[in-house]
Structure 1
């Protein structure tokens, strides 16, 4: 359904603009698909976490994840349904389970922090077949921004968050994000 809507929007642009280049139209269509899929996921997740009474943790986890993932990349499912299921599982772990864990030792949080920065340095940006990063300068830019956001969230979590639930939510979000960079889940189609 969402793919059909993106094709209709792209066709409208093709028929009512000067854009006729097939490659440009494919990029526009892909952009529409991404935007529509993300809006759909956000609506479903918001409803689910409102029902669960955990919307505050979802929003916090999303803020941490999106500011890092946009630049570092990560696993992309090949269908909207798989993506929704994967994302729901991700946020159930970070926003439902992690806040219930007890506070860990500061050494554990620091170890996860150091490991995260090292992994982001070596593994980001994660390759994406639909949006490959071929330019070395752009790769370094994305890597630098990923590390910056990772470091910023680590500082916020370690020095400004006293609430154990938010601390665990933030660190679980970081941990699951970096695992996506190092564990090949499945080759993208």
Structure 2
């Protein structure tokens, strides 16, 4: 359904000479990607509204999205699975923030340090569809490493300032990316042909 709608829109742009025919695939990909990202964000904000955690959602997304981009990890095999996994990730984070006992928020700094240290050892995690050469690995590791260190420092600072709920959000961002990184590594191992083990 989305493919047909995107196809119609791009064909209209070509007919109106807004874009050239040889740019069809580029624009089809770009429009589809923008629509899907918009759908994801709209769904996240609906979840945030329903659970009364919009500010927490914004902070989590500001932490998790760039960390995910540079660290890599698990990617769903279809657009629908990607959407479901993404929404379940956001929903579970919001539910944790809502139900987690406040007197246990102090563990956030330990969760952040544990997740950050393990993540640093694993990143970047490439996928079958996005293999990385040596220079890309160095680039992504440096970017992701900087984000991890920044999040650890911020989490510690927030803990010291008694802003434990915000510290927990940062820790959860690191922890969720750790889960994605481990899942991505396990998938790469499972997908390797027997001759390459």
Scaled to the shorter chain, the TM-score interval is: 0.7 to 0.9
* 2:157 aligned partner: 159
Query: Residues 10-49 of structure 1: matches in 2 within 5 Å?
Result: 10-12=10-12, 16=17, 17-18=19-20, 20=22, 25-49=24-48
Q: 1:173 and 1:138, CA in 2 relative to 1: closer, same or farther beyond 3 A?
A: same
* 2:116 aligned partner: 113
Q: Which has the higher helix share?
A: 2
CA distance in 2, matches of 1:44, 1:150: 27
CA distance in 2, matches of 1:111, 1:142: 20
* 1:142 aligned partner: 140
Query: Residues 35-184 of structure 1: matches in 2 within 5 Å?
Result: 35-98=34-97, 100-101=100-101, 102-103=104-105, 104=107, 106-120=109-123, 124-127=124-127, 129=129, 132-161=130-159, 162-184=162-184
Gap runs ≥5 in structure 1: none
Gap runs ≥5 in structure 2: 189-197
Q: 1:6 and 1:178, CA in 2 relative to 1: closer, same or farther beyond 3 A?
A: farther
Q: CA RMSD, aligned part only?
A: 2.7
| Alpha-carbon contact 1:73-1:125 (below 8 Å) kept | yes
TM-score (norm 1): 0.78
**Rg comparison, structure with higher value:** 2
Shift of 1:32: 2.4
TM-score (norm 2): 0.75
Could you list the per-position Cα deviations for residues 77-125 of structure 1 after superposition, in whole angstroms to 9, with x for gaps in the alignment? 23343222211211122222145242217545423322222222xxx14
Give the aligned length: 179
